[in-house]
Amino acid sequence: MTVTQPKGFRAAGVAAGIKAEGKLDLALVVNDGPLQVAAGVFTRNVIKAAPVLWSQEVLKQQRLKAVVLNSGGANAATGPGGFQDTHQTAEKVAGLFEAGAIEVAVCSTGLIGERLPMDALLSGVDTAFERLGTGDEADLAAATAVMTTDTKPKQAAAKHESGWSVGGFAKGAGMLAPNLATMLSVLTTDAVVTPEVLDKALRAATGVTFDRLDVDGGTSTNDTVLVLASGASGVEPTEAELTELLTTVSLDLVLQLRADSEGATKYVDVTVTGAVSEADAIAVGRTIAEDNLVKTALFGSDPNWGRIAMALGRVPAEIDPEKVAIAINGVTLFAKGTTAADRSEADLSGRDIQIVVDLGLGEGGATIYTTDLSHAYVEENSAYSS
Protein backbone atom coordinates (compact mmCIF):
# COMPACT_ATOMS: atom_id res chain seq x y z
CA MET A 1 0.00 0.00 0.00
CA THR A 2 1.10 3.58 -0.61
CA VAL A 3 -1.18 6.60 -0.27
CA THR A 4 -3.55 4.61 1.99
CA GLN A 5 -0.82 2.82 3.95
CA PRO A 6 -0.99 5.50 6.67
CA LYS A 7 -4.09 4.85 8.77
CA GLY A 8 -7.03 7.23 8.35
CA PHE A 9 -6.96 7.62 4.57
CA ARG A 10 -9.12 6.37 1.70
CA ALA A 11 -8.51 6.87 -2.02
CA ALA A 12 -10.14 6.26 -5.40
CA GLY A 13 -9.43 6.71 -9.08
CA VAL A 14 -12.14 6.67 -11.75
CA ALA A 15 -12.76 7.37 -15.44
CA ALA A 16 -14.93 10.51 -15.37
CA GLY A 17 -14.79 11.05 -19.12
CA ILE A 18 -12.54 14.13 -18.97
CA LYS A 19 -10.09 12.24 -21.17
CA ALA A 20 -11.60 11.14 -24.45
CA GLU A 21 -10.05 7.69 -24.28
CA GLY A 22 -12.10 6.67 -21.25
CA LYS A 23 -8.94 6.32 -19.18
CA LEU A 24 -8.82 6.92 -15.44
CA ASP A 25 -8.77 10.71 -15.10
CA LEU A 26 -10.12 11.67 -11.65
CA ALA A 27 -8.64 10.85 -8.24
CA LEU A 28 -9.93 11.49 -4.72
CA VAL A 29 -7.91 11.23 -1.50
CA VAL A 30 -9.82 11.59 1.79
CA ASN A 31 -8.51 12.13 5.32
CA ASP A 32 -10.82 10.49 7.90
CA GLY A 33 -8.79 11.86 10.81
CA PRO A 34 -8.88 12.17 13.71
CA LEU A 35 -6.57 15.03 12.66
CA GLN A 36 -6.97 16.87 9.38
CA VAL A 37 -3.68 18.76 9.31
CA ALA A 38 -2.30 19.67 5.88
CA ALA A 39 0.50 21.58 4.16
CA GLY A 40 1.41 22.30 0.54
CA VAL A 41 4.08 23.72 -1.73
CA PHE A 42 3.24 25.15 -5.13
CA THR A 43 4.82 26.24 -8.42
CA ARG A 44 6.86 29.45 -8.33
CA ASN A 45 5.70 30.23 -11.86
CA VAL A 46 3.91 33.61 -11.79
CA ILE A 47 1.39 32.21 -14.24
CA LYS A 48 -0.61 29.91 -11.94
CA ALA A 49 -3.50 27.66 -12.90
CA ALA A 50 -6.89 28.16 -11.24
CA PRO A 51 -6.53 25.04 -9.02
CA VAL A 52 -3.18 26.33 -7.74
CA LEU A 53 -4.66 29.73 -6.87
CA TRP A 54 -7.52 27.93 -5.10
CA SER A 55 -5.43 25.36 -3.22
CA GLN A 56 -2.88 27.98 -2.09
CA GLU A 57 -5.80 29.88 -0.58
CA VAL A 58 -7.38 26.93 1.24
CA LEU A 59 -4.00 25.69 2.55
CA LYS A 60 -3.75 28.90 4.59
CA GLN A 61 -6.17 27.10 6.97
CA GLN A 62 -3.54 24.32 7.27
CA ARG A 63 -6.28 21.65 7.25
CA LEU A 64 -7.75 19.49 4.48
CA LYS A 65 -10.56 16.93 4.48
CA ALA A 66 -9.92 15.85 0.91
CA VAL A 67 -7.96 16.40 -2.30
CA VAL A 68 -9.57 15.99 -5.72
CA LEU A 69 -7.26 15.67 -8.73
CA ASN A 70 -7.95 15.44 -12.45
CA SER A 71 -5.89 14.77 -15.54
CA GLY A 72 -7.09 15.65 -19.04
CA GLY A 73 -6.96 19.42 -18.50
CA ALA A 74 -4.75 21.84 -16.53
CA ASN A 75 -7.43 24.52 -16.13
CA ALA A 76 -4.61 27.05 -16.66
CA ALA A 77 -4.96 30.35 -18.55
CA THR A 78 -8.72 29.84 -18.44
CA GLY A 79 -9.67 33.16 -16.83
CA PRO A 80 -12.40 33.75 -14.18
CA GLY A 81 -14.53 30.95 -15.67
CA GLY A 82 -11.77 28.48 -14.99
CA PHE A 83 -11.48 29.60 -11.37
CA GLN A 84 -15.27 29.15 -11.00
CA ASP A 85 -14.89 25.57 -12.27
CA THR A 86 -12.28 24.85 -9.59
CA HIS A 87 -14.44 26.40 -6.86
CA GLN A 88 -17.46 24.38 -8.02
CA THR A 89 -15.37 21.19 -7.92
CA ALA A 90 -14.31 21.88 -4.33
CA GLU A 91 -17.93 22.66 -3.35
CA LYS A 92 -19.06 19.37 -4.88
CA VAL A 93 -16.49 17.31 -2.94
CA ALA A 94 -17.14 19.22 0.29
CA GLY A 95 -20.87 18.50 0.02
CA LEU A 96 -20.19 14.75 0.11
CA PHE A 97 -18.48 15.08 3.50
CA GLU A 98 -20.57 17.83 5.07
CA ALA A 99 -17.38 19.88 4.97
CA GLY A 100 -16.63 23.34 3.64
CA ALA A 101 -15.12 23.94 0.21
CA ILE A 102 -12.22 25.54 2.09
CA GLU A 103 -11.32 22.04 3.35
CA VAL A 104 -10.88 20.67 -0.18
CA ALA A 105 -7.77 21.12 -2.34
CA VAL A 106 -8.00 20.80 -6.13
CA CYS A 107 -5.23 19.73 -8.54
CA SER A 108 -5.47 19.65 -12.32
CA THR A 109 -3.05 18.55 -15.04
CA GLY A 110 -3.32 18.50 -18.80
CA LEU A 111 -3.43 20.95 -21.67
CA ILE A 112 -3.11 24.68 -20.91
CA GLY A 113 -5.79 27.09 -22.12
CA GLU A 114 -8.87 24.86 -22.26
CA ARG A 115 -11.92 24.70 -19.96
CA LEU A 116 -12.77 21.43 -18.18
CA PRO A 117 -15.90 19.39 -19.04
CA MET A 118 -17.61 20.10 -15.71
CA ASP A 119 -20.61 17.77 -16.08
CA ALA A 120 -18.31 14.81 -16.60
CA LEU A 121 -15.97 15.94 -13.84
CA LEU A 122 -18.70 16.47 -11.23
CA SER A 123 -20.42 13.14 -11.91
CA GLY A 124 -16.96 11.57 -11.72
CA VAL A 125 -16.66 12.95 -8.18
CA ASP A 126 -19.81 11.01 -7.19
CA THR A 127 -18.40 7.82 -8.69
CA ALA A 128 -15.06 8.33 -6.92
CA PHE A 129 -16.86 8.91 -3.60
CA GLU A 130 -18.66 5.57 -3.95
CA ARG A 131 -15.39 3.76 -4.74
CA LEU A 132 -13.32 5.22 -1.92
CA GLY A 133 -11.28 2.49 -0.25
CA THR A 134 -7.91 1.39 1.09
CA GLY A 135 -5.36 -1.06 -0.26
CA ASP A 136 -3.28 -1.63 -3.35
CA GLU A 137 -6.18 -1.41 -5.79
CA ALA A 138 -7.39 1.96 -4.54
CA ASP A 139 -3.84 3.30 -4.35
CA LEU A 140 -3.05 2.20 -7.90
CA ALA A 141 -6.30 3.65 -9.28
CA ALA A 142 -5.62 7.05 -7.68
CA ALA A 143 -1.98 7.09 -8.83
CA THR A 144 -3.04 6.09 -12.34
CA ALA A 145 -5.84 8.67 -12.64
CA VAL A 146 -3.40 11.59 -12.42
CA MET A 147 -1.10 10.28 -15.18
CA THR A 148 -0.74 12.28 -18.39
CA THR A 149 2.26 11.35 -20.53
CA ASP A 150 3.61 9.21 -17.70
CA THR A 151 4.10 5.64 -18.89
CA LYS A 152 3.66 4.20 -15.38
CA PRO A 153 2.20 5.29 -12.04
CA LYS A 154 4.63 6.48 -9.34
CA GLN A 155 3.93 5.34 -5.77
CA ALA A 156 6.00 5.07 -2.62
CA ALA A 157 5.63 4.48 1.11
CA ALA A 158 7.83 4.03 4.17
CA LYS A 159 7.08 2.94 7.75
CA HIS A 160 8.82 4.25 10.87
CA GLU A 161 9.80 1.69 13.50
CA SER A 162 7.66 3.53 16.05
CA GLY A 163 4.54 2.61 14.11
CA TRP A 164 3.62 5.57 11.87
CA SER A 165 4.19 5.86 8.13
CA VAL A 166 4.27 8.08 5.07
CA GLY A 167 2.82 7.20 1.66
CA GLY A 168 1.92 8.88 -1.58
CA PHE A 169 1.92 9.12 -5.36
CA ALA A 170 3.22 11.54 -7.99
CA LYS A 171 2.99 12.21 -11.72
CA GLY A 172 5.00 14.18 -14.29
CA ALA A 173 8.07 16.16 -13.30
CA GLY A 174 8.59 19.89 -13.65
CA MET A 175 8.11 20.56 -17.35
CA LEU A 176 9.60 17.17 -18.07
CA ALA A 177 6.47 15.86 -19.72
CA PRO A 178 6.19 17.24 -23.23
CA ASN A 179 3.02 19.31 -22.81
CA LEU A 180 1.07 17.94 -19.89
CA ALA A 181 3.64 19.48 -17.85
CA THR A 182 2.64 19.41 -14.28
CA MET A 183 4.31 17.63 -11.40
CA LEU A 184 1.64 16.70 -8.86
CA SER A 185 2.13 14.72 -5.67
CA VAL A 186 -0.09 13.84 -2.72
CA LEU A 187 1.62 12.54 0.43
CA THR A 188 -0.15 11.13 3.48
CA THR A 189 0.95 10.34 7.02
CA ASP A 190 -0.77 9.02 10.14
CA ALA A 191 1.70 10.78 12.39
CA VAL A 192 0.41 13.13 15.06
CA VAL A 193 1.74 16.52 14.03
CA THR A 194 1.05 20.23 14.38
CA PRO A 195 0.40 22.31 11.24
CA GLU A 196 3.62 24.26 11.87
CA VAL A 197 5.82 21.14 12.09
CA LEU A 198 4.13 19.52 9.07
CA ASP A 199 4.70 22.65 6.98
CA LYS A 200 8.36 22.90 8.00
CA ALA A 201 8.95 19.17 7.41
CA LEU A 202 7.32 19.29 3.96
CA ARG A 203 9.39 22.30 2.87
CA ALA A 204 12.57 20.67 4.15
CA ALA A 205 11.77 17.39 2.35
CA THR A 206 10.67 18.91 -0.98
CA GLY A 207 13.61 21.34 -0.87
CA VAL A 208 16.08 18.49 -1.35
CA THR A 209 13.91 16.21 -3.53
CA PHE A 210 11.16 17.60 -5.78
CA ASP A 211 12.95 20.97 -5.97
CA ARG A 212 16.15 19.22 -7.10
CA LEU A 213 14.66 17.35 -10.06
CA ASP A 214 15.53 19.35 -13.18
CA VAL A 215 15.25 17.76 -16.59
CA ASP A 216 14.77 20.83 -18.77
CA GLY A 217 14.48 23.78 -16.42
CA GLY A 218 10.74 23.96 -16.87
CA THR A 219 8.38 25.06 -14.14
CA SER A 220 4.75 24.17 -14.66
CA THR A 221 1.80 26.48 -14.04
CA ASN A 222 0.26 23.70 -11.90
CA ASP A 223 3.06 22.10 -9.85
CA THR A 224 1.73 21.07 -6.43
CA VAL A 225 2.92 18.84 -3.58
CA LEU A 226 0.42 18.30 -0.75
CA VAL A 227 0.80 16.40 2.51
CA LEU A 228 -2.15 15.35 4.69
CA ALA A 229 -1.77 14.13 8.29
CA SER A 230 -4.47 12.05 10.02
CA GLY A 231 -2.83 11.43 13.39
CA ALA A 232 -4.44 7.96 13.30
CA SER A 233 -1.25 6.21 14.45
CA GLY A 234 -1.38 8.05 17.76
CA VAL A 235 2.39 8.53 17.50
CA GLU A 236 3.96 12.01 17.44
CA PRO A 237 7.41 11.88 15.81
CA THR A 238 10.03 14.59 16.19
CA GLU A 239 10.26 17.14 13.38
CA ALA A 240 13.56 15.51 12.34
CA GLU A 241 11.96 12.04 12.17
CA LEU A 242 9.03 13.35 10.12
CA THR A 243 11.33 15.29 7.80
CA GLU A 244 13.49 12.20 7.27
CA LEU A 245 10.60 9.90 6.35
CA LEU A 246 8.95 12.53 4.11
CA THR A 247 12.33 12.99 2.39
CA THR A 248 12.75 9.24 1.89
CA VAL A 249 9.33 8.86 0.24
CA SER A 250 9.74 12.08 -1.80
CA LEU A 251 13.15 11.02 -3.15
CA ASP A 252 11.74 7.62 -4.06
CA LEU A 253 9.00 9.35 -6.07
CA VAL A 254 11.46 11.83 -7.64
CA LEU A 255 13.73 9.03 -8.90
CA GLN A 256 10.66 7.26 -10.33
CA LEU A 257 9.72 10.51 -12.11
CA ARG A 258 13.21 10.84 -13.56
CA ALA A 259 13.24 7.20 -14.63
CA ASP A 260 9.99 7.73 -16.56
CA SER A 261 11.02 11.00 -18.22
CA GLU A 262 10.47 10.99 -21.96
CA GLY A 263 13.47 10.12 -24.02
CA ALA A 264 15.93 9.80 -21.14
CA THR A 265 18.69 7.29 -21.81
CA LYS A 266 20.95 8.41 -18.94
CA TYR A 267 20.10 9.14 -15.31
CA VAL A 268 22.47 11.86 -14.16
CA ASP A 269 23.22 13.05 -10.61
CA VAL A 270 25.00 16.42 -10.64
CA THR A 271 26.57 16.91 -7.21
CA VAL A 272 28.20 20.23 -6.36
CA THR A 273 30.41 20.50 -3.27
CA GLY A 274 32.70 23.16 -1.82
CA ALA A 275 30.41 26.09 -2.73
CA VAL A 276 30.36 29.17 -0.50
CA SER A 277 26.61 28.55 -0.01
CA GLU A 278 23.93 25.96 -0.73
CA ALA A 279 22.32 28.53 -3.05
CA ASP A 280 25.53 28.70 -5.11
CA ALA A 281 25.73 24.90 -5.20
CA ILE A 282 22.14 24.67 -6.46
CA ALA A 283 22.72 27.39 -9.09
CA VAL A 284 25.84 25.64 -10.42
CA GLY A 285 24.15 22.22 -10.37
CA ARG A 286 21.05 23.49 -12.17
CA THR A 287 23.05 25.26 -14.88
CA ILE A 288 25.06 22.11 -15.59
CA ALA A 289 21.91 19.96 -15.47
CA GLU A 290 20.08 22.25 -17.93
CA ASP A 291 22.98 22.79 -20.35
CA ASN A 292 22.12 21.26 -23.74
CA LEU A 293 25.77 20.76 -24.69
CA VAL A 294 26.42 18.85 -21.47
CA LYS A 295 23.19 16.85 -21.91
CA THR A 296 23.88 15.92 -25.53
CA ALA A 297 27.46 14.92 -24.67
CA LEU A 298 26.07 12.60 -21.96
CA PHE A 299 23.61 11.17 -24.50
CA GLY A 300 26.67 10.37 -26.62
CA SER A 301 28.43 8.82 -23.56
CA ASP A 302 31.12 11.50 -24.01
CA PRO A 303 32.87 12.59 -20.78
CA ASN A 304 33.21 16.13 -22.18
CA TRP A 305 34.33 18.00 -19.05
CA GLY A 306 35.07 21.09 -21.18
CA ARG A 307 31.33 21.60 -21.58
CA ILE A 308 30.80 21.20 -17.83
CA ALA A 309 33.53 23.78 -17.19
CA MET A 310 31.92 26.12 -19.72
CA ALA A 311 28.53 25.70 -18.08
CA LEU A 312 29.65 26.30 -14.50
CA GLY A 313 31.77 29.24 -15.62
CA ARG A 314 28.68 31.14 -16.71
CA VAL A 315 26.85 30.77 -13.39
CA PRO A 316 26.53 33.96 -11.33
CA ALA A 317 28.12 32.23 -8.34
CA GLU A 318 31.41 32.54 -6.47
CA ILE A 319 33.88 30.46 -8.48
CA ASP A 320 37.70 30.34 -8.61
CA PRO A 321 38.69 28.47 -11.81
CA GLU A 322 41.96 27.39 -10.17
CA LYS A 323 40.10 25.63 -7.35
CA VAL A 324 37.45 23.82 -9.41
CA ALA A 325 37.66 20.03 -9.76
CA ILE A 326 35.37 18.08 -12.10
CA ALA A 327 34.93 14.32 -11.73
CA ILE A 328 32.75 12.05 -13.87
CA ASN A 329 31.93 8.55 -12.63
CA GLY A 330 34.74 8.77 -10.09
CA VAL A 331 37.50 10.02 -12.39
CA THR A 332 38.79 13.59 -11.84
CA LEU A 333 39.23 15.01 -15.36
CA PHE A 334 39.79 18.72 -14.57
CA ALA A 335 41.63 20.28 -11.61
CA LYS A 336 43.83 23.30 -10.81
CA GLY A 337 42.77 25.04 -14.04
CA THR A 338 43.86 22.28 -16.41
CA THR A 339 43.39 18.69 -17.54
CA ALA A 340 43.79 16.16 -14.73
CA ALA A 341 43.27 12.94 -16.67
CA ASP A 342 42.43 11.82 -20.18
CA ARG A 343 38.68 11.82 -20.68
CA SER A 344 38.89 8.28 -22.00
CA GLU A 345 39.49 7.16 -18.41
CA ALA A 346 35.86 7.98 -17.52
CA ASP A 347 33.42 5.26 -18.60
CA LEU A 348 29.97 6.66 -19.45
CA SER A 349 28.66 3.59 -21.25
CA GLY A 350 26.26 2.79 -18.41
CA ARG A 351 22.83 4.26 -17.70
CA ASP A 352 23.75 6.00 -14.44
CA ILE A 353 26.18 8.94 -14.47
CA GLN A 354 27.66 10.73 -11.46
CA ILE A 355 29.04 14.24 -12.08
CA VAL A 356 30.80 15.73 -9.06
CA VAL A 357 31.95 19.36 -9.21
CA ASP A 358 34.02 20.55 -6.23
CA LEU A 359 34.29 24.35 -6.20
CA GLY A 360 36.90 24.12 -3.42
CA LEU A 361 35.70 27.25 -1.63
CA GLY A 362 33.32 26.36 1.21
CA GLU A 363 30.83 23.98 2.77
CA GLY A 364 27.84 24.49 0.42
CA GLY A 365 26.61 21.41 -1.42
CA ALA A 366 23.62 20.11 -3.41
CA THR A 367 22.65 17.32 -5.79
CA ILE A 368 20.48 17.96 -8.86
CA TYR A 369 18.74 14.98 -10.48
CA THR A 370 18.59 15.19 -14.27
CA THR A 371 18.81 13.21 -17.53
CA ASP A 372 20.55 13.45 -20.89
CA LEU A 373 19.05 15.14 -23.97
CA SER A 374 18.18 12.51 -26.54
CA HIS A 375 16.60 12.20 -29.96
CA ALA A 376 13.52 10.79 -28.25
CA TYR A 377 13.14 13.96 -26.14
CA VAL A 378 13.13 16.10 -29.29
CA GLU A 379 10.80 13.68 -31.05
CA GLU A 380 8.22 13.46 -28.28
CA ASN A 381 8.29 17.16 -27.54
CA SER A 382 7.97 18.23 -31.16
CA ALA A 383 5.77 15.48 -32.56
CA TYR A 384 3.26 15.82 -29.72
CA SER A 385 0.76 18.18 -31.31
CA SER A 386 -0.98 20.45 -28.81
Residue 370 assigned as binding residue: no
Q: Is 307 in the site for a copy of itself (CB under 8 A)?
A: yes
Angle between helix 79-96 and 50-58 (nearest 10): 50
- Binding letters toward a copy of itself, positions 151-180, x by CB under 8 A: ------------------------x--xx-
Q: For a copy of itself, which stretch binds (CB under 8 A), given 99-107, 159-167, 248-256, 289-297?
A: 289-297
d(CA 281, CA 144): 35
Nearer to a copy of itself, 13 or 303 (CB): 303
Give the interface size with a copy of itself as a residue count (CB under 8 A): 63
Tell me if residue 14 falls in helix, strand or coil: strand
Nearer to a copy of itself, 8 or 364 (CB): 364
Q: For a copy of itself, which stretch binds (CB under 8 A), given 3-11, 123-131, 275-283, 308-316?
A: 308-316
Question: Exposed, middle or buried, 159 (CB in 10 Å: 0-12/13-18/19+)?
Answer: middle
Q: Is 42 in the site for a copy of itself (CB under 8 A)?
A: no
Q: Is 56 in the site for a copy of itself (CB under 8 A)?
A: no
End-to-end CA distance of the chain: 35
Most distant CA pair in the chain, distance: 68
Sheet holding 9-14, edge to edge: 9-14, 26-31, 66-70, 104-108
Tell which positions 335-374 bind a copy of itself, by CB under 8 A.
336-339, 373-374
Tell me if residue 15 falls in helix, strand or coil: coil
Nearer to a copy of itself, 63 or 212 (CB): 212
Residue 171 assigned as binding residue: yes
Q: Is 46 in the site for a copy of itself (CB under 8 A)?
A: yes
- Binding letters toward a copy of itself, positions 322-341, x by CB under 8 A: --x---------x-xxxx--
The answer for residues whose C-beta is within 8 angstroms of residue 165's C-beta and 6 or more apart is 5, 6, 157, 158, 159, 189, 190, 233, 245
Cβ neighbours around 234 below 10 Å, total: 12
DSSP assignment letter at 46 = S
Name the binding residues for substrate. 148, 171, 182, 262, 381, 386
Task: Tell me which residues touch a copy of itself (CB under 8 A).
Answer: 44-48, 76-79, 82, 111-114, 175, 178-179, 181, 216-221, 290-293, 296-297, 299-300, 302, 304-307, 309-314, 319, 321, 324, 334, 336-339, 373-375, 377-379, 381-386
